[in-house]
Structure 1
Amino acid sequence: MPCLQPSSRIAILGAGLMGRLLACALARQGHQIALYDAHGPQADGAAARVAAAMLAPLAESAVTEPGVVRMGQHALNRWPQIIAELDAPVFFQQNGTLVLWHRQDASDAQRLCALFDKNRRINPSLPALQTLSGQALHDIEPATTHRFSQGVYLPGEGQLDNRQLLAALLATLTRLGVEMHWETPRELSDFAPGSAGQPGWVLDCRGLGARTAWPQLRGVRGEVLRVHAPEVTLQRPTRLVHPRYPLYIAPKEDHLFVIGATEIESDDMSPASVRSTLELLSAAYTVHSGFAEARIVELSVQCRPTLPDNLPAVRRLSERVLEVNGLYRHGFMISPAMLDVVLELLTTGDCPLARDFDVAVHQ
């Protein structure tokens, strides 16, 4: 595979999370970047805009592979570095994850904790979970007092504000002089990289927009509420064990909370149903009664780009065309690792990092 030469011309398709991260990194290296997106600068067509942006490798180890967990650990170190280089502030918190359950769901919680312990044996660098009850639970999260008698704390896990991050990346791209083409959908067939008058490289980061070139992609629907709840004082991402709705609540700044649970095998983008909305709100209320007086700011639906094995991948369609896709539900947790994988591949033609993270690089 050829390597990037200084001041290469690069077209990036898709200005969601991966597209913006790659555009920023490559522009800083002195390359000439043209960024194309089918939607507008607010990333309104991107899965990254509708996300809780939790960075929770131990919590996610219950539903994904060890390589993704290692990418999540990598992200906890990389996100502060990435954010420090941006032109606007981004809320970032590394205050751990709290997992709670009601008494009737104790058996499900025991199975989940057993999974966490098993995954720590596979990856001993993961922090040990802390079992909490009574006063210890109150000390970690006073807002749960009188509602829960036990829980577990996963130290070191984090989160960031996805909307602030996307805006900060946009501001940085503007300063770096990246050519941005909004409301301008493009296909790989629109380019002949390396030819006269054409970019030297094309990077496809379109998510589900890339299905014309990568038909194995499918959408996995998620429904996410954003609420303003001044009476709620949760200090960290909190997950509720539930047999049907394993709820998460991610507190952002100024008492804004992102609440979600649904993961539906469908690329249906119609509005959320009354039933799923009621179940989300009811479950949140059982965590903290202050959600009863919260104001619903937004109820969003989006589909996450997912490959058949639910794992991310890089695909080289030709010597100068790379596709990056399949971040599924782990976009913010694994995107720094995927960024570093692609940069290494472009710079050296090889990618030990991809092997470290078990990322498939299809030739």
Structure 2
Amino acid sequence: MPLRPSSFAILGAGLMGRLLAVELARQGHRVDVFDAGSAAAEHSAARVAAAMLAPLAESAITTPGVVRMGRHALGRWPQLLAALADPVFFQQAGTLVVWHRQDAAEARRFTRQLEACQRLLPELPALRRLDGQALAQAEPALADRFAQGLYLPGEGQLDNRQLLAALATQLERLAVRVHWHTPQSPAGLAPGAAGQPDWVLDCRGLGARAEWPALRGVRGEVARVHAPDVTLQRPTRLLHPRYPIYIAPKEEHLFVIGATEIESDELSPASVRSTLELLSAAYAVHPGFAEGRILELAVQCRPALPDNLPAIRQPRKGVLEINGLYRHGFMIAPALLDVTLELLNTGQSALAQDFDLALAPAPGPAQPPARRRDMDMTQA
């Protein structure tokens, strides 16, 4: 049964908060959004991201459940983007993985991990091994630079900042009441009481650590480079045992280049050492980056739980907390959106079971111990 018209307070206007606010407002609900920052999402990890949608590539460091979320999201992103008034760059041309000869052992290890995931999830498109000639055909700009590579078909990317801006515009069009520079916590709200929202959805990422102490920050450093001499058709990953990097080509020769993952929630500027390694690795992929212009060196921390997996929990009646997207925010956000909508509409989620998604029910004297795959909110 569809959720009756309700009122929602959404805490946090990063990627997850904006997606939920747009969809709930489109369904006819009253929505208020509270965020500590502005429409520019300057405090959000989503602003500093490559927005790659690469479930098979990420299977090397995550679980089959997250990979299934990524596959689900690849089908959902075109639908979500089509409903926005403003265009957002979206591409689904696969992922290219390359390596230098001295890193062949790392490539063999990585390939074995991907093939193991494909045996578990045969619905994934099969990776293709490329020799030098096939690699040059797939990515002419890299001809004669690498002797072999991998092509992961069906994977994609989008422009994160275009998307955040388009979602902010859509909130205005849908008459969502957005309270910028107004931090809010669940403790300040009493869902269901007179004059209060029916539901509180907490999507604050690291801003929710007071309520979710297990959260930690994982620092990432990203360069945004304009390189007119470089043309890449799709996201490219360079394997290296010490500093693997990704290069995500956006429109008009804009490239998002990243690699670093540091167990820290410290937000000081990028170090000279990590910047040199990042840009040197990009130059090793294509020498045209030497003449590019560094538009920005950005730093942000991703919210992660101890197992690096996302989770949804209901600490009390009328409150849902969605968090722990780690480095997979854009890749899995539509899957978490659909799980949350199922929970709100029916009190249960079949998708969550498909995704092995951690769901914790509301506490209570008769509540059984939480189980990873089960959640029933019909009695909440």
Scaled by the length of structure 1, what TM-score is found?
Answer: 0.98
The number of aligned residues is 361
Letter in 2 for 1:316: Q
Residue of structure 2 in register with 1:311 after alignment: 309
Contact 1:222 1:264 (C-alpha < 8 Å) held by counterparts: yes
Alignment of 1:17-96 (within 5 A): 17-96=15-94
Q: Structure 2: which amino acid aligns with 1:64? A: T
CA contact (8 A) 2:99 2:240 kept: yes
Counterpart for residue 170 of structure 2: 172
The 4+ residue runs of structure 1 with deviation greater than 4 A are none
Residue 134 of structure 1: CA displacement? 2.1
Correspondences of 1:290-329 after superposition (within 5 Å): 290-329=288-327
Alignment match of 2:119 (pick from 118, 121, 137): 121
SS where residue 328 of structure 2 aligns? helix
Cα deviation, residue 135, structure 1 = 1.5
In structure 2, which of residues 256, 259, 282 is the aligned counterpart of residue 258 of structure 1? 256
Q: Does 1:198 align with 2:203?
A: no
Residue type of the partner of 2:274? S
Mapped partners of 1:127, 1:285: distance in 2: 30
Residues in 1 aligned to 2:132 and 2:5: alpha-carbon distance in whole angstroms: 60
Question: SS of the residue aligned with 2:224?
Answer: strand
- Counterpart-to-counterpart distance in 1, 2:316 and 2:327: 28
Secondary structure of the residue aligned to 1:329 is: coil
Aligned counterpart, 1:248: 246
In structure 2, what residue type is equivalent to 1:106?
Answer: A
Q: CA offset at residue 4 of structure 1?
A: 7.5
The structure, 1 or 2, with the larger RCO (C-alpha pairs under 8 Å, 6+ apart) is 1
1:235 to 230, 233, 236: 233
**Conservation of the 8 A alpha-carbon contact between 1:6 and 1:30:** no
Matches of 1:7 and 1:349, distance apart in 2: 15
Read off the aligned partner of 1:337 and give its amino acid letter: A
Residues of 2 paired with 1:303 and 1:260: CA distance?
A: 13
1:130 maps to which of 114, 128, 140: 128
Q: Which amino acid aligns with 2:36?
A: A
CA contact (8 A) 2:132 2:144 kept: no
Q: Find the counterpart in structure 2 of residue 102 from structure 1.
A: 100
1:352 and 2:350 aligned? yes
Whole-angstrom CA distance in 2 between matches of 1:158 and 1:359 = 23
Does the 8 Å contact 1:223/1:260 carry over to 2? yes
For residues 286-326 of structure 1, the C-alpha deviation after alignment (integer angstroms, 9 at most, x for no partner) is 00000000000110000000001100000101120000000
**Letter of the 2:29 counterpart:** H
Shift of residue 136 of structure 1?
0.8
Whole-Å separation in 2 of the counterparts to 1:48 and 1:141: 28
For structure 2, which runs of at least 5 residues remain unmatched after alignment? 362-380
Equivalent residue letter for 1:69: V
Q: Post-superposition shift, 1:146?
A: 2.0
Return the offset for 1:5: 4.5
Could you tell me the percent identity over the aligned residues?
A: 70
Alignment partners' CA distance in 2, 1:4 and 1:329: 32
Determine if contact 2:3/2:344 at 8 Å carries over to the other structure: no
Cα deviation 1:65-121 (Å, max 9, x = unaligned): 000000000011000000000010000000000000001000110111111111100
CA positional deviation for 1:6: 2.6
CA distance in 1 between counterparts of 2:273 and 2:145 reads 24
CA distance in 2, matches of 1:99, 1:86: 32
Show structure 1 runs of 5+ residues with no match: none
**Alpha-carbon distance in structure 2 between the residues aligned to 1:4 and 1:137:** 49
Q: How far apart, CA to CA, are the structure 2 residues paired with 1:260 and 1:327?
A: 18
